[in-house]
Amino acid sequence: MRAAFAVFLAVATAVALAFLVLPVVAIFVQVPPSDLLHALGQDVTRDALVVSLKTSAIAHAAVLVFGTPAAWLLARKRFPGRGLVLALVELPLVLPPAVAGIALLATFGRAGLLGDELNALGIQIPFTQTAVVLAVAFVESPFYLRGAIAAFEAIDTSLLDAARTLGASPARVFARLGLPLAAGGLGAASALALARGLGEFGATIIFAGSLQGVTQTLPLAIYAQFEADFDTALAISALFILVGALLLVALKLYPWFRFISISRSRFAPST
Amino acid sequence: MVPLHLDFSLPLRAFDVELALDVDAETVALVGPSGAGKTSVLRAVAGLARPARGRIACAEDVWFDSARGVDVRPEDRSVGYVFQEYALFPHLTVEQNVTFGGGRGDRLLWRLRIEHLAKTKPGELSGGERQRVAIARALARSPRVLLLDEPMAALDPHTRGAVRAELHDLLRELALPALLVTHDFEDAAALADRVGVLADGKLRQVGTPADLLGAPADPFVARLAGANVLSGVAARTANGLTGVLLDAGPTIFAADPGSGRTDVVVYPWDVSLAHEAPDDSALNHVRDEIVSLTPLGNRARVRLKLLTAEVTTASLERLRLQPGDRVVASFKATQARLLSRT
């Protein structure tokens, strides 16, 4: 009985691993390194790479700049309706990306919620690079906020209280204690959000379209190429896997870079 | 003008902390079991907890006054706060911790004998070193009030005595109004000029350690001060003493007058132990069985069925006492204090 269960566990694990790893292996088997370099030299790929890097960088910077203070507030303040706000923050996580695209159109589109105001200002957002940035920021921000809130909540409150009694203003407490003590968690959340943003597809294609050199990001380029030139689609996919693997390695290594954990330093036995 | 004036009510989950206390340039210890609201008192003084009503003033500066709508922010009160477990900033060095609030740390690092640790992070310090860093940090902005939350709790028993003596000297030298919170009456008596006993948010008794030991207000205070509290019925006897028939059986004699139901307070260090009832001036000899022996440095706590005695380890070895032995516990009638029940 015990042996049978052990075999069952081993088989289940092997099937799960094979299922997850095989497609990844398949891509590299189909794309020799020379083809990869060739595909990456093509205009479609280069344009998509530029659009992806530019829009992701802007969207990610915006998510960090607005998301970090927001996460600090949501983590440290207790107010009525906080649970609801936290649930709203996570809502985009459970939305299909296509729904996010439609929602963004309904907000920023010509006939959308803010359409009249934007028209009056002469601003058109859908099917521009701005739309890509908005779509990417929309889908990646919950990933960052969730991680950042958890990282800030993990800080021992008595440290923040101590800083207050030492004359530190709330802004100084945030800068000198909040940010450095949560740095590890913030970095991990940032990497996860960045990966999600780079892979954004559904919301972008609906809200921003797929114009080469303007709104066609790498995932959209894969979709555009997979009928025209499957090899290029394969090559871009391989590129993604490499970037994703790098981000994951960085995430797994992050505890090494973390500051000495709070609990350890507070309760460590005398040495 | 009193250096620190407290009179406030602070609602907690189970009860309200209600405290009226004036602190001069002295150390006042608040003692009580955990959950008595001791830390909440410190938090209210520091501005980290907001009382429902009342007044907190430091000399002429009003920090909190519900009637006038005053509530000064923690960073604008002049409070040095030594937190429980010290709350040192783990990512900053000792020197950066001490100078976090501004100012230079050299003199304080030197005064607390931690200048050699200036570049060390808190994670690498011993309990005693951490305590000194926390005190240096609390003093760095020359506060007008010092708050200490269980400053001895994170120390191991070996270093406790020396650290306590040092802290005592420092508190005398600073001559600041200081509020110290502890669950240990011995620490309180050793460090503070006055001791306040706190239970469920209310002060039961405030006085010098000698006051509290000599005349505890009630059985709770007496037990907290380490006393045996024995219940019984008192009656005047022919020899001019009071005889108390204990609920547990034996009768003991006390010099205090009393009658009816009463509690008798006997301190463990007033009780001596022998194999046979000695022929001495002590009137009370109770034959009892040893339940357990707990060494406390050069003394030992001997728990009998009826009461606890504290004797030197030297006596313990001389008498070869073991759990299960039957011994005679002796104390004078003057060492049995009566608490009249109200």
Phi, psi of B311, deg, nearest 5:
-130, 165
For chains A and B, count residue pairs whose Cβ atoms are closer than 8 Å: 87
pLDDT band for B42, please (50, 70, 90 cuts). very high
Distance from CA of B52 to the nearest CA of A (A): 18
Tokens representing residue A55 in the block: 């829009």
The mean pLDDT value for A32-48 works out to 84
Which one of A164, A259, A266 has the shortest CB-CB distance to B91? Answer: A259
Enumerate the β-bridge partners of residue B11.
B16
* Closest B-chain CA to A180: B91
Output the pTM of the full model: 0.82
Residues paired with residue B271 on neighbouring β-strands, in sequence order: none
B150 chain-A contacts, CB cut-off 8 A: none
The per-residue pLDDT of chain B, averaged, comes to: 90
B296-303 contacts at long range (C-beta below 8 A, 24 or more positions apart): B297/B157, B297/B161, B301/B268, B302/B273
Nearest residue in chain A measured CA to CA from B73: A164
Checking ipTM against 0.90, whether it exceeds it is: no
- Long-range CB contacts (within 8 A, 24+) of B218-227: B218/B339, B219/B263, B219/B265, B219/B339, B221/B197, B222/B263, B222/B265, B222/B339, B224/B31, B224/B32, B224/B33, B224/B185, B224/B197, B225/B185, B225/B189, B225/B267, B226/B185, B226/B186, B226/B267, B226/B268, B227/B265, B227/B266, B227/B267, B227/B268
pLDDT digits (tens, 9 = 90+) for A89-114: 988 888 899 999 999 999 998 888 99
Domain B4-78+144-220, CATH: 3.40.50.300
Q: What is the pLDDT of residue A268?
A: 38
Q: Which CATH architecture has domain A42-263?
A: Orthogonal Bundle (1.10)
Nearest CA in chain A to B46: A165
Average pLDDT over residues A155-162: 95
Query: What would the pLDDT profile of B84-124 be if each residue is shown by its tens digit?
Result: 999 999 999 999 999 998 777 888 898 888 989 999 999 99
Band of pLDDT at residue A264, cut at 50, 70 and 90 = very low
User: How does pLDDT run across B171-217, given as a tens digit for each residue?
Assistant: 999 999 999 999 999 999 999 999 999 999 999 999 999 999 988 99
CB-nearest to B100 from A161, A166, A261 is: A166
> Are A22 and A96 spatial neighbours (Cβ–Cβ below 8 Å)?
no
**Which one has a higher pLDDT value, A255 or B102?**
B102
Q: Which residue of B has its CA nearest to A158?
A: B87
Class of domain B227-340: mainly beta
Query: Does A46 lie at the interface with B, CB-CB under 8 angstroms?
Result: no
Question: Where do the domains of chain B lie?
Answer: 4-78+144-220, 227-340
- Helices A218-228 and A43-76: crossing angle in degrees, nearest 10, is 150
Q: Tell me the pLDDT tens digit for each residue of B123-146.
A: 999 888 999 999 999 999 899 999
Picking from B42, B75, B85, B181 by the largest number of A CB atoms within 10 A of its own CB, the best residue to mutate is B75
| Chain A stretch 240-269, residues whose beta carbon is closer than 8 A to a beta carbon of chain B | 259-262, 264-268
pLDDT of residue A35: 77
Judged by CB atoms closer than 8 Å, whether chains meet at B75 and A169 is answered as: yes
Residue B158's pLDDT band (cuts 50, 70, 90): confident
Please judge whether A166 and B127 are an interchain contact, meaning their C-beta atoms are less than 8 angstroms apart.
no
> Cα–Cα distance between A70 and A73 in angstroms, integer?
5
pLDDT for B73 beyond 70: yes
User: Domain ranges in chain A?
Assistant: 1-30, 42-263
Structure token digits, residue B1: 């003008």
Q: How far is residue B99's CA from residue A181's CA, in Å, rounded to a whole number?
A: 18
- Cβ within 8 Å of residue B186, ≥6 positions away: B226
Strand, helix or coil for residue A211? coil
In this prediction, residue B295 carries a pLDDT of 85
H-state helical runs in chain B: 38-46, 94-98, 106-111, 127-139, 157-174, 185-191, 209-214, 219-224, 313-319
Any bridge partners for residue B61, and if so which? B58
Please determine, for residue B261, whether its predicted confidence score (pLDDT) is greater than 60.
yes
Phi, psi of B246, rounded to the nearest 5 degrees:
-70, 150
pLDDT band at A255 (very low <50, low <70, confident <90, very high): low
**d(C-alpha B306, C-alpha B287), whole Å:** 9
CA atoms within 13 A on the CB side of B137: 32
Residues of B in contact with A180 (CB under 8 A): 91
